[in-house]
Amino acid sequence: MGVKGINHCLFLLIFFISISYKSEGKDLIDSLKQEYNSVVETGNLEEQILLLNKIADQLYQVGELREAHSTYSKVVDLSMESNLLKQHARALSGLAHIDWRWGENITAIEYALESLDIFYSIGDTVNICYTSDILAGIYVSLGKLSEAEKLYVEVLEIAKKTGNRLNEAISFEHLGVVKFFEQDYKSSIEYYTKAGVIFEQLGDNLRLAISKANTGEAYLYLGEFESAIDLLCDAKEIMEMESFLSGLIFSYYSIGNCFTQLGQFDKGIKYYDMALELVKQTGEDREKPQIFKLISENYSAQGKYQESLDYFQKSVTLGDSIDNIQKTRLIEEIRTKYDFEKKEKENNALLEQNKLKEASILVQNRKIYIQYIIGILLISFLCVSYFSYKKVNKQKDELNAVNRIKDQILRVIGHDLRGPVGNLKVITDIITSDHVISDPEEQNKILKQLKEEINDTYFLLTDLLAWSQLQRDNPKLIFSEFNILEQIDKAVRILEPGAIRKNITIEFTKKDLTEMVCFSDPNMIQSVIRNIVGNAVKFTPENGSIRIFVDRDDKNNCALIRVSDSGLGIHQPNIKRIFEYKGINNSKGTMNESGTGIGLSLCKDIIEMCNGDIGLEENHTSGTTFYFTVPLSTT
């Protein structure tokens, strides 16, 4: 097989693969770059990588190979960081395609194999076929035809299984190229024909033209020149419509060769000149040696030996120049391979060192891990011990608080209930004695006294129970709507006998009010009213007076109750601690009445829990005025 067959058929094979991604020109590239710049501002890395791959594909199609190579390399770096496998493999395929076209076959194979590994792992059959075609093309360029044929057969099987008619046709075309290089021209024509039928069915005119040109070349080598001219002319017409200049160069000088073989030398020279004109236009100088050689053979067949010698010398000179370039690239490939093997040995040595270091680090990490476990267990034990200690202390404090409350209740019971209960015992002893009291007035006096002692004892117990309940962590209050005026009336009725006994008047000023609805715990508020008014009765001397005022505070949405007496007042040092409970209070009333000493403390706790306010107006020289507020109902 001549140089022509190898060189140009390989070029057509490269181009045949490249049109898998159809170019739409530089306008599309500019548009894609603008879109990419907009996406960069959004920070969407996945969309950036996708656009970069599209830009690189289009750059390849318009022949900007260096920029395309740089763009694919950028995608490889970015996609490796973001783990976008498909786009990473697509970029590797692009690098393989460009390096193959540059003659960098070793790196092209490496890129293609790495790309294929990824496509197989994600099951992307379309790109498996595309990348396998690139790898097989590299094998063809290296003369490894059996490896190339094996890959093309695998791609053909995938295409058939997936029903991909285009890839099926491309595989037939590539197998035809392999058979052509093996000089099995008849088998080559069979494969080309199968491919052409499918391309025509799919309406893929450019690939159909390439297939016809390849078939015509095979007929040329079989000596069937008329058939070759028909096919090559069909291909030429399609390529002229598609402006496929590289394919036209091949078609022109192949047609010229056919006419030369038929003895039609002028027509042969005409097509050779057309081919040279396109070479000049496209800059594809690698075709010149072959065309010059064919022109030399044409002039030799005509007996024009001087012209034949001139073109032969041009062919040899230019061919040597191209060969030198190829030899230089081959030397670079060998040097690259040597450097690669050297680096690989160095890397293997480093890997061994790293393995030893990793083993040592693993042992250290295990020790550290064990220490961490022991430390965590120790800390956990200390935490459990600490929280257990805190829990026990909290329970101890709660138990001490309960015991304090119990002791206080017992002390109050022993101190304040002893007198009333003793009085009850004396009165009941009198009633049950053999001595009969016949005087009705004396009987009424004893019964009134009995009633008063019973009431005092009852309300004392009620206050003690309320106070002990408030000492708990979560006292429960029962809120409801009630008329505060009724609660004050009720307290006055209860305390009126004691006031009458001391000739104290209790005046309740309502300001024409008949109802003032509050929202709170009515029983607790009743206890507050009873304690404050009861204290006023207790510390007001005989013939004194007590006044109760009720006002509506619209600003704070509450009822304001004030209780004033004409007693002795409270000395300044006692005002600040009047609401504090300091144990049993032995303060006696004006008629030596006793009490628990917890009344005002109880009142303060209740009012604060009911979202109210309580206080004392400082006027100890002319009696005492207590006030408290109760929230009004909002309904």
168: which residues sit within 8 A by CB, 6+ positions away?
A: 156, 159, 160, 198
State the Cα–Cα distance between residues 178 and 166, nearest whole angstrom: 19
State the Cα–Cα distance between residues 120 and 132, nearest whole angstrom: 11
550 beta partners: 561
What is the gyration radius of the CA atoms in the chain, in angstroms? Answer: 56
State the Cα–Cα distance between residues 311 and 346, nearest whole angstrom: 52
Helix axes 26-42, 45-61, angle to 10 degrees: 170
* Length reported for the chain: 635
State the Cα–Cα distance between residues 116 and 129, nearest whole angstrom: 9
State the Cα–Cα distance between residues 65 and 481, nearest whole angstrom: 89
pTM of the prediction? 0.45
Name the strand (E) or helix (H) holding 631.
Answer: strand 625-631
State the Cα–Cα distance between residues 608 and 524, nearest whole angstrom: 11
In a domain, 617, yes or no: yes
Structure tokens at 167: 């890839």
Look up residue 271 and give its amino acid.
Answer: Y
- The helix/strand/coil state of 532 is helix
Domain end residue (candidates: 61, 88, 115): 115
296 and 288 Cβ atoms separated by less than 8 Å: no
Domain end residue (candidates: 84, 115, 146): 115
State the Cα–Cα distance between residues 162 and 168, nearest whole angstrom: 10
Name the strand (E) or helix (H) holding 159.
Answer: helix 145-162
- The helix/strand/coil state of 552 is strand
297 and 272 Cβ atoms separated by less than 8 Å: no
Q: Cα dihedral sign for 445, 450, 455, 456?
A: positive
In a domain, 574, yes or no: yes
In a domain, 275, yes or no: no
Specify the number of domains making up the chain. Answer: 2
State the Cα–Cα distance between residues 526 and 509, nearest whole angstrom: 18
Look up residue 187 and give its amino acid.
Answer: S
Output 355-362 pairs: Cβ under 8 A, ≥24 positions apart: none
Mean pLDDT by 10 residues, the chain (635 residues): 42 53 66 87 87 86 81 88 85 87 81 86 82 80 83 86 88 88 92 93 90 93 94 92 83 94 94 91 77 92 90 81 50 48 69 81 85 87 85 81 67 57 66 66 72 70 68 75 94 88 90 87 91 89 93 92 87 76 60 64 88 82 87 89
Output 431-435 pairs: Cβ under 8 A, ≥24 positions apart: none
Structure tokens at 14: 């490269």
Q: Cα dihedral sign for 36, 38, 41, 43?
A: negative
Helix axes 225-242, 245-261, angle to 10 degrees: 160
Q: Where are the alpha helices (DSSP H) in 43-124?
A: 45-61, 65-82, 85-102, 105-122
CATH number at 501 reads 3.30.565.10
Phi, psi (5° rounding) for residue 458? -65, -50
In a domain, 345, yes or no: no
97: which residues sit within 8 A by CB, 6+ positions away?
A: 14, 17, 18, 60, 108, 134
Range of the domain at 530: 477-631
Residue 335, exposed/middle/buried by CB under 10 A (0-12, 13-18, 19+)? exposed
Strands 625-631 and 614-617 turn out to be antiparallel
DSSP string across 281-320: HHT-GGGHHHHHHHHHHHHHHHT-HHHHHHHHHHHHHHHH
509 and 545 Cβ atoms separated by less than 8 Å: no
630 and 558 Cβ atoms separated by less than 8 Å: yes
Annotate 327-382 with three-state secondary structure: HHHHHHHHHHHHHHHHHHHHHHHHHHHHHHHHHHHHHHHHHHHHHHHHHHHHHHHH
pLDDT at site 392? 85
Residue position matching structure tokens 């058979």 = 179
Alpha-carbon dihedral angle through residues 483, 487, 488, 494, given to the nearest 10 degrees: 160
CATH number at 105 reads 1.25.40.10
pLDDT at site 422? 60
Structure tokens at 592: 């030596």
Look at residues 559, 549, 546 and name the one whose alpha carbon lies nearest to residue 623: 546
State the Cα–Cα distance between residues 613 and 607, nearest whole angstrom: 6
Domain end residue (candidates: 53, 80, 115): 115
In a domain, 62, yes or no: yes
In a domain, 194, yes or no: no
* Cross-sheet strand order for the sheet of 614-617: 505-509, 545-553, 558-565, 625-631, 614-617
Distance in Å from the first CA to the final CA of the chain: 108
494: which residues sit within 8 A by CB, 6+ positions away?
A: 455, 459, 530
pLDDT at site 426? 64
State the Cα–Cα distance between residues 408 and 405, nearest whole angstrom: 5
In a domain, 265, yes or no: no
In a domain, 581, yes or no: yes
State the Cα–Cα distance between residues 378 and 369, nearest whole angstrom: 14
DSSP string across 434-488: SS----HHHHHHHHHHHHHHHHHHHHHHHHHHHHHHHTSSS-----EEEEHHHHH
Separate counts of helices (H) and strands (E) for the chain: 22, 7
565 beta partners: 546
State the Cα–Cα distance between residues 591 and 32, nearest whole angstrom: 104
Structure tokens at 395: 């329970």
State the Cα–Cα distance between residues 548 and 566, nearest whole angstrom: 12
